[in-house]
Amino acid sequence: MFAKVIGILAIAALSSAAKTFRVVPVTIYYESLCPDSQAFIANQVYPVFKTELKDFIELTWVPFGKTTFETRGSDVMFQCHHGENECYGNKVHACALQHIQANSYQNEFTKTSLTVDFITCLMRAGKNFPDNVYPGKRCAVESHINNWENIAQCANSTDGSQLLKSQGEKTFEFMNPLTSVPTVVFKMAFNAEDQSRAMNDFQGVLCKYISEPKPRTCTINGAGSHFTIFTPILILAAFFLARFF
């Protein structure tokens, strides 16, 4: 019985280590009021993150897009692709990335999951807000974020400007000017074919970069076998560990 338990634990540990090793870094360069960014995040990224694939993706958000900025003394002036409201929205996103934290009493949430839910809620709101009120507070409540006041204070201060400037510097380091919004980069290397396909099949491109054995979500439509050459290796490893103990 003890050996069997050890074997099960060994398989679980090996599977967890394999998942960690196979995590795919994904960077998304976007704008808060860009319709294409909103559609991509809401219809492509969010649904994928709600599957088992969330364990295989490391998301980096860069809310800047085709914005430009000019430093004037201690202040930073921004010109945003979709106007002044987008500049504020970009600051909210930048401040959220900085300030969102998971709480110890919210075991079902992580910083990553809270961030994905909050950003998606903001992007789903579109460009027209009831009473011209930016939906930050509403989305914070819906996304179980308890420190909206900190995010709002940041977005309305020089802290928000500095954080957005930092997002701009990341964008310019990657590409200046950014030619397409949104732009998605897998494994820190831009690929034009991946970019085009990801707009309508983000999951398919992500699965391409996850090494074998593929998660079931990647193979369930017949794209490959869930049982791969690595499966018997994991089983054998668990067997010998069980025998040893």
As a whole number, mean pLDDT of residues 114-132 equals 87
What is the predicted pLDDT for the residue at 227? 37
For residues 35 and 149, membership in a common domain is answered with yes
Q: Work out the average pLDDT over 138-157.
A: 96
Q: What is the CATH number of the domain that holds 68?
A: 3.40.30.10
Q: Quick one: pLDDT band at residue 72, thresholds 50, 70, 90?
A: confident
178 and 107 both lie in a single domain: yes
For residues 45 and 198, what is the distance between their CA atoms, to the nearest angstrom? 9
Q: What is the rounded average pLDDT of the residues 60-82?
A: 94
Using the predicted structure, report yes or no on whether residue 235 has a pLDDT greater than 70: no
* HEC letters along 148-211: HHHHHHHHCCHHHHHHHHHHHHHHHHHCCCCCCCCEEEECCECCHHHHHHHHHHHHHHHHHHCC
Q: Are residues 16 and 39 in the same domain?
A: no
Tell whether 230 and 186 lie within a shared domain. Answer: no
**Residue 165, pLDDT score:** 97
Bond from prior residue into 47 cis (ω within 30 degrees of 0): no
> Is residue 12's pLDDT more than 50?
no
Residue 78 pLDDT greater than 60, yes or no = yes
Mean pLDDT of 24-51: 97
Angstrom distances, CA of residue 91 to CA of 113, 137, 139, 183, 232:
20, 14, 15, 19, 49
Domain that holds residue 233: 1-22+212-245
- Asked if the peptide bond before residue 35 counts as cis, ω within 30 degrees of 0, the response is no
Same domain, 163 and 227: no
Which of 47-61, 105-119, 149-163 has the weakest average pLDDT?
105-119
pLDDT given for residue 74 in this prediction: 78
